[in-house]
Structure 1
């Protein structure tokens, strides 16, 4: 393995050779292209060149592919590969910052492991919720979801009932761990096909994550779960700065090297680690609580309550924003669970309303109403959040989104007061790393699990035999799901197709549901449907 100094020396020698390199544009002449490719190949994979020195095709490979081949041949860590890419970038080569972007690593929810066998990944959610307003009874269910399921069906694994959260988290997770170990090693069979099961990630909010971790809470001075930065206490609030400290690692967590960050006499993490769970990288920051109910709600409240530094929103400006929200109502598609509401009802807004605001309506409602610096700061959050939410392109936009988030955090104390730079604002700096390791934002969001939690609470009709009521309902629900068929088209009384329904969208002839974007990039307004519902007729927008 070469040292960083040796890498720099090789690159310097290469750059001083007889060819000209421009960022993003090769100006190497055809006569010396093979020679240059050979030199680059010698830097990237010296052993490979010795074996394939007469392979002309290999000599003409781009630098990106040669680095990828080198990484596949040698068992170097991803951190080492990232450092090498940084050296190349510092010398003027146009390469991505991350090895995952260079190697185009994609996660497959279903992967064959043997003839007649398949490998299933699960997302696991752990959270608590109060059951009644009249007493302290609360539910702590363990929920699961198959990765890649377009229907987003959430199933119940187990439920704890008590007046507070389970005291011993090891006992709480004991049966789950034993069952997951069996499913991972032995699997199960359906229709003669063998399935093995593993966990992709745990989707938890900050309090639940600290509970399962066995660590201090998020409001502690060293409460950040992704880096070792230490905050300060100001008016009973832990304040962090706008920079990222040394990141926490799975290995250091396993060896308990973070001192008082780990709570004593708690072995929950040891239990999860016995089934191969990585306690840092497999616990991504949950975006619903972090962004929607955290940062976006904080920004709106600060705007309305005058907690900004250099301006205060006037009543007529608040009314103008509310009027714009209400004017959007007739045009909000049915895919949105809730329609926009006035700012007067901000305290009653749900998480989906804050998400709708930051991703869709806010960029229009705030324009020319709030000061330019506030609007610019909001646009940074809007754009970065949007880039990380698109499944098809999020990997290509990680660097841009990271820069936007850093700039957003840097400007945050200048627009708001410093005491608002709390855990959620600081943790936003780690969001792109979670996206890089886990997938696009919606793939580890808690929204499907929150819907299931609300459904479990509805199953309870009286305060006696609560767990029995939930069990009986969940058992019947499983059979209903197996019998249920997804409606793909909607018919009127004359048996004419008037709409198309899928698990992810609805199209019909109503003004709010008739606009769509084709894969070619063309936006159309639907005028009618074909007899089978598979053909659309419309006009270009």
Structure 2
């Protein structure tokens, strides 16, 4: 019965059959096959031997990478010989009044629109033990990397593009110190120092970490355990890229604006200047093109800004709305950040100007941050 339902579900998905037509067909077939459901939604949500595992902190369901990839290849009629996959893992709180959270493992194949869910954990805390949470995922991924994916008499090679995660999840998966601890930088050997209630990372010339040093755990202060991901044949430093949404937009750009609004008197904006910037933001709202997910909002609502709004400020509107309002030294310091990110995020700029110029701009931004905003400004996000 399950095989027959599986075939009908694939037929409906491949043929882009509407829910209405599929429901009508099910009503006709039900007389001869009473095991079939009467509604298309029930058919498409039918589970097939899904394995539920109980962990120490909650329940875990593993759907499988191979199953998801076969659906994608079938849906998009992919003929490329390589499937380059980016994975994402993160914790998602479900309620405000209860400490229940989801920890899905997502995947996305380059050039395919749809992401897919490899596994889902639900519990009152992060998945524990980590080895049980990642065990099926790592074993299947190792097999696919070695043997590829066989589908419709064609074998697709599998490669891992990256693991995209925020800093706390990276630390969790790699079993390393968190971003607010000593030796918490995942990219270099800068140990950090305690200053004014926080760990600051002042150096920008520390030796870089690499896969060999990470696996050998030569920097003992950086590690708190052995990550299950060491079983994968990947570079455990390079394959965890720096995520500019968290570091650049929600990290540094938000920090700059908050310092200008409520930081030291040396760089704090007056009430009249804050209102003028807000007026400019409101005045250009109607000019923001539809490609931008959100229109500009007043600084009075900055606590509610999303990452895309800080991105718009960093890359597009900032040079105009801050000009002739913030102090010239502060303004030119912001332009170092703006130009550095603009180069790195545009292939044309990278080809014409090179990444070395972007590095010099961002190095200067970090060096002058301490002069303008004090040593306490050199936290993890600025360092990264």
TM over 0.5: yes
Quick one: which of 223, 229, 243 aligns to 1:262?
Answer: 223
If the length of structure 2 is used for normalisation, what is the TM-score?
A: 0.76
- Tell me if 1:343 matches 2:299: yes
Q: TM-score, normalised by structure 1?
A: 0.55
Structure 1 position 392, deviation (Å): 3.8
Q: Secondary structure of 1:369's match?
A: coil
Give matches, 1:67-106, under 5 Å.
Answer: none
Instruction: Identify if the C-alpha distance between structure 1 residues 170 and 397 changes in structure 2 by more than 3 Å, giving closer, same or farther.
Output: same
Q: Which residue in the other structure is 2:263 paired with?
A: 306
Map 1:90-239 to 2 at 5 A.
118-149=81-112, 151=113, 153-239=114-200
**Alignment check: 8 A CA contact 2:259 2:268 kept:** no
* Separation of aligned partners in 2, 1:146 and 1:328: 37
* 2:281 aligned with 1:325: yes
Q: Which residue among 289, 313, 334 is the counterpart of 1:357?
A: 313
CA–CA distance in structure 1, aligned partners of residues 318 and 136 of structure 2: 45
Kept in 2, the 8 Å contact 1:322–1:341? The answer is yes
User: 5+ residue gaps in structure 2?
Assistant: 1-78
- The equivalent position to 1:334 in structure 2, one of 290, 305, 314, is 290
The structure 1 residue matched to 2:362, chosen from 385, 405, 423, is 405
Alignment check: 8 A CA contact 1:117 1:194 kept: no
- Which aligned pairs between 1:233-312 and structure 2 lie closer than 5 A? 233-263=194-224, 266-268=225-227, 271-307=228-264, 310-312=266-268
Conserved 8 A contact 1:180-1:198: no
Deviations 1:6-49 (A, max 9, x none): xxxxxxxxxxxxxxxxxxxxxxxxxxxxxxxxxxxxxxxxxxxx
Indicate if the aligned counterparts of 1:145 and 1:155 stay in contact, CA closer than 8 A.
Answer: yes
Between Structure 1 and Structure 2, whose CA radius of gyration is higher?
A: 1
In structure 2, the residue matched to 1:59 is none
- 1:174 and 1:286 mapped to 2: Cα distance? 25
Matched with 1:381 is 337
Corresponding residue number in structure 2 for 1:423: 380
RMSD: 1.6
Moved more, 339-348 or 198-207: 198-207
8 A contact 2:162–2:240 mirrored in 1:
yes
Q: Structure 1, residues 427-466: CA drift from partner, whole Å, max 9, x if none? A: 1xxxxxxxxxxxxxxxxxxxxxxxxxxxxxxxxxxxxxxx
Listed as ranges, the matches of 1:18-57 within 5 Å are none
User: Which secondary structure does the structure 2 equivalent of 1:259 belong to?
Assistant: coil
